[in-house]
Amino acid sequence: MKNFSNSPLHNNQTPNHVRDRKNKKFGFLSAVPLRFSLRGYGFCMATLFLFCFGSLFYQLNGGPPKILLDIRQYLGESTYLDDHGPPAPRVLLFPSQVVYNRVGKCGSRTVVILLRLLAERHQFNLVSSDIHNKTRLTKHEQVDLMRNISNIPQPFLYTRHVHFLNFTRFRIEQPVYINIIRDPINRFLSNYFFRRFGDWRGEQNHLIRTPGMKDDERYLDINVCILENYPECSNPRLFYIIPYFCGQHPQCREPGVWALERAKQNVLENFLIVGILEELEDVLLLLERLLPHYFTDVLNIYKSPDYMKMGNMTGTVRKHTPTLEALQVLYHRMRYEYDFYNFIRKQFHLMKKKIGLKSVSRPTAHQASFLRELAVRTTEPLDEDEELETDLEDANIWFVQP
């Protein structure tokens, strides 16, 4: 067997031959990476330029370029919504979810007429529920209603006769609440006669609203109703305003301190404003200050002749004042309602003072003597040169003139 390692020829040729081949090999490899790195660098820069240009084009035109849509359609029929769900809702710079859980016979029809005119002028979505007699909801009804409200396109204002709904309890974004109340006895009287005789919008609308009411009940003297303790004129029927702010808890419908204090707490934590009907013009001014995208120019509309023609039709007919004895009994039964009313009135005046609003509302009638003895205030001290107002909605005040 030949040993090629000892061959003179092999020993002489191997070093030079191997050296030359190594030099050629490394020279080739050193040139290849340089050539590929330049090419790769150019490719990356071109890709980055196209990406930036495409992104800019996407943003300027509010959507992707047509070629990207064509490519996506070519690759598959799925859409962006299929893969990622609906886009996040548009975030507005002002409160865009407002709920007005209006209290019955507290000027709500007057305000709804204004809202219809304002919605047309300011282009917000007004949803006014036709459900009037279902203020207490089951848990499932609450969730369904809150979800339906949250799905209304923003900005929106939803209004319905319904007790306070706690959206955060069900992990739903809480809207801004607003409301208006009035003197509890005056509200009760307005409702008592409205159910029986309607308002100026139509002579027979009370027959449509309460078709099952017998004549004995329809023409029942209100003094008899109060003094003889008929169900309509006693608790829990008289405990009406507080549940709108207390909420859906069963205890909110029981007259007592618990419901009263919870209603006050909800007002402080969840309501942007709760006004009083006796100072409606000031309420409208505050709403314009706090929610300008909804209520700008509301006071001018309220004072316009066109609105006055519609607003004057909402006054209750045949309303008259009970005797002083009946009023005293009624006030005692509604003491929690008056506690809440005076709390709201104090908060409302405090808000006017903080904002620096100059009052434009005119004074209501003087108080009854028995209320003055009980130190119950329903009007602010006013300047002597201010005139009395007699043409507000439902202006037949129950207070006895001195």
Which residues are identified as catalytic? 161
Query: What are φ and ψ of residue 177, in 5° steps?
Result: -100, 145
Q: Phi and psi of 316, rounded to 5°?
A: -75, 140
Q: How far apart are CA 237 and CA 229, in angstroms?
A: 11
- What is the bridge-based pairing of β-strands 97-100 and 125-128? unpaired
CB 378 within 8 A of CB 367: yes
CA 172, CA 148: separation in Å to the nearest integer? 11
CB atoms closer than 10 angstroms to residue 278: 24
Task: Name the region of 48 (left: φ>0; alpha: ψ -120 to 50; beta: rest).
Answer: alpha
Alpha carbon separation from 357 to 35, 249, 347 (Å, rounded): 77, 36, 14
SS3 of 65, please? coil
Dmax (CA) of the chain: 144
Backbone angles phi, psi at 315, to 5 degrees: -75, 140
Buried-state track 255-265, b at ≥16 Cβ within 10 A, e below 16: beeebbebbbe
Phi/psi at 397 (5° precision): -70, 145
**CB contact at 8 A, 222 and 233:** yes
Q: What are phi and psi of 176, to 5 degrees?
A: -90, 130
For 374, other C-beta atoms within 10 Å of its C-beta total 15
Question: What distances in angstroms separate CA 400 from CA 105, 196, 325, 335, one per listed residue?
Answer: 21, 23, 12, 19
Backbone angles phi, psi at 342, to 5 degrees: -70, -35
Amino acid making up residue 402:
P
As given in the structure block, the two tokens for residue 259 are 């419901």
Assess contact for 156 and 89: CB atoms under 8 A.
no
Give yes or no for a contact between 301 and 307, defined as CB atoms under 8 angstroms apart.
yes
